């Protein structure tokens, strides 16, 4: 199977893509744009169809997410508002103005009623769509909330941020459940693995850290080798993730055992990857980065191989995977700094300062900690 012939063509957009999400049951992708617009497309192997564009926000749209049933789309913005749109029409059906004191940076739909938002100052708010005000406000973090995820089995929200802390929250209670030590590195992305027994966190320094559920003081394993920051993680199954790095490469990584399987895609040098999402039918991985494109990658064969392994009860042969294997020379690095979406010159600002804002380095550096054996994902 030639994966190049079994994936849709890339979709070129006219402006910077800040965030994207995929419909839970249909071939729809929605994008949050740096110009404040939200756009919806129907993607396909033969062609893509633009469905609608909504000029939703006064400032950049930093996050978008479908509701669990796909009927609505939530969006967050630097202008501090939260908007809810109808998926079919793009019309705004609900608005919460000035929802945070600082620009909102992170969005997570928890269930059919609850949503979490995190801002540039580390404040997390829990919203019930049946009420007009936040039902919980958490303020333990000191810098921007980069990403949040939720364990339904444990009813716990897990957040990571630019201050180097990981936090966990029982969303029914007002106080933090657990807070990690300061990691002396920005924590940018997170996924729960092994049936929520493990958390995998991507960092600014290019290290994947592995955490055990309930032991949140410090990570207990790490995967090193990404030459640049890990801005996006997409979970494929309980044992496998894809990582999007600021070197423009999408890597396939096994978790416990830690194995680097290869390269799924490449946006190109100096084209950091910001978003990775798996389609509802598990046919494609969709990515976006600084090239202003939605790129599609065929991953259906990965799940076919997994099914064949289960049927044959034999381990997969990594060398037979239809994935191009490439490596980076040691010492290669890209200038991946870009950042806050300025109203005057958003595109240039995005290239000059990594993520929304940078964490100030602590003057006092704690002694180094002993970790478990590290795995080199890339040479």
When pLDDT is averaged across residues 179-194 and rounded to a whole number, the result is 97
Report which of 325, 280, 358, 374 is spatially closest to residue 120, judged by C-alpha positions: 358
Mean pLDDT of the chain: 84
When pLDDT is averaged across residues 132-157 and rounded to a whole number, the result is 96
Whether the bond into 219 is cis, omega within 30 of 0: no
* Sheet-wide strand order for 49-55: 17-22, 28-33, 37-42, 49-55
83 and 99 Cβ atoms separated by less than 8 Å? no
Tens digit of pLDDT for each residue in 93-129?
A: 999 999 999 999 999 999 999 999 999 999 999 999 9
Q: Which pLDDT does position 304 carry in this prediction?
A: 81
Say how far apart CA 101 and CA 93 lie, in whole Å: 23
Q: Which pLDDT does position 309 carry in this prediction?
A: 60
Say how far apart CA 190 and CA 253 lie, in whole Å: 14
Greater pLDDT, 310 or 349? 310
Q: Which pLDDT does position 268 carry in this prediction?
A: 86
pLDDT at 319 over 50: no
**Continuous segment of H or E residues that includes residue 137:** strand 134-138
pLDDT at 208 over 60: yes
Q: Which pLDDT does position 377 carry in this prediction?
A: 38
User: Cβ contacts of residue 41 below 8 Å, gap of 6+?
Assistant: 11, 28, 29, 30, 31, 48, 49, 50, 51, 294
3-class DSSP state of 57: coil
* Sheet-wide strand order for 187-193: 187-193, 198-203, 208-212, 221-224, 374-376
Q: Which pLDDT does position 373 carry in this prediction?
A: 35
The beta-strand segments (E) located in 225-377 are 230-237, 240-245, 249-254, 259-266, 273-278, 284-289, 293-298, 374-376
Q: What's the token pair of residue 176?
A: 């933090």
Instruction: Give the pTM.
Output: 0.82
Phi, psi of 159 (to 5 degrees): -125, 145
When pLDDT is averaged across residues 349-373 and rounded to a whole number, the result is 37
Q: Which pLDDT does position 225 carry in this prediction?
A: 85
Tens digit of pLDDT for each residue in 229-243?
A: 999 999 999 999 999
**pLDDT-derived band of residue 6, with 50, 70 and 90 as boundaries?**
confident
303: left (phi > 0), else alpha (psi -120 to 50), else beta? alpha
**pLDDT-derived band of residue 351, with 50, 70 and 90 as boundaries?**
very low
Q: What's the token pair of residue 4?
A: 């190049």
Q: Which pLDDT does position 5 carry in this prediction?
A: 67
80 and 98 Cβ atoms separated by less than 8 Å? yes
85 and 99 Cβ atoms separated by less than 8 Å? no
Q: Which pLDDT does position 308 carry in this prediction?
A: 63
**pLDDT-derived band of residue 293, with 50, 70 and 90 as boundaries?**
very high
Q: Dihedral of the CA atoms 159, 165, 169, 171 (nearest 10)?
A: -50
């Amino acid at each position: 199977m030639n994966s190049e012939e079994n994936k849709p063509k890339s979709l070129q957009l006219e402006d910077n893509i800040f965030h994207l999400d995929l419909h839970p049951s249909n071939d729809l992708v929605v994008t949050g744009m740096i110009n404040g617009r939200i756009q919806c497309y129907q993607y396909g192997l033969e062609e893509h169809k633009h469905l609608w564009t909504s000029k939703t926000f006064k400032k950049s749209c930093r996050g978008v997410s479908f509701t669990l049933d796909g009927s609505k789309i939530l969006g967050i913005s630097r202008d501090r508002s939260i908007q809810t749109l109808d998926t079919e029409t793009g019309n705004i059906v609900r608005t919460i103005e000035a929802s945070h004191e600082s620009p909102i940076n992170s969005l997570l739909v928890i269930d059919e009623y609850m949503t979490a938002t995190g801002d540039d100052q580390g404040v997390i708010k829990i919203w019930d769509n049946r009420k007009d005000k936040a039902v919980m406000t958490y303020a333990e973090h000191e810098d921007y909330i980069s990403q949040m995820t939720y364990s339904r089995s444990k009813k716990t929200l897990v957040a990571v941020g630019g201050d180097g802390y990981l936090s966990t929250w029982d969303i029914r209670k007002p106080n933090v459940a657990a807070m990690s030590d300061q990691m002396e590195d920005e924590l940018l992305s997170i996924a729960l693995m092994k049936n929520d027994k493990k958390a995998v966190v991507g960092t600014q320094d290019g290290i994947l850290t592995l955490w055990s559920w309930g032991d949140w003081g410090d990570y207990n394993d790490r995967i090193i080798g990404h030459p640049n920051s890990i801005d996006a993680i997409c979970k494929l199954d309980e044992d496998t993730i894809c990582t999007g790095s600021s070197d423009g490469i999408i890597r396939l990584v096994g978790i416990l055992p830690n194995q680097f399987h290869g390269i799924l895609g490449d946006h190109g040098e100096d084209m950091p990857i910001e978003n990775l999402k798996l389609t509802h039918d598990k046919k494609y991985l969709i990515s976006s980065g600084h090239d202003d494109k939605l790129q599609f990658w065929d991953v259906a064969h990965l799940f076919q191989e997994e099914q064949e392994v289960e049927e044959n009860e034999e381990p997969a042969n990594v060398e037979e995977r239809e994935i191009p294997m490439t490596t980076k020379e040691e010492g290669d690095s890209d200038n991946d700094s870009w950042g806050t979406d300025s109203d005057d010159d958003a595109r240039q600002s995005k290239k000059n300062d990594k993520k929304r804002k940078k964490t100030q380095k602590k003057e006092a550096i704690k002694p180094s900690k002993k970790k478990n054996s590290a795995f080199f994902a890339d040479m």
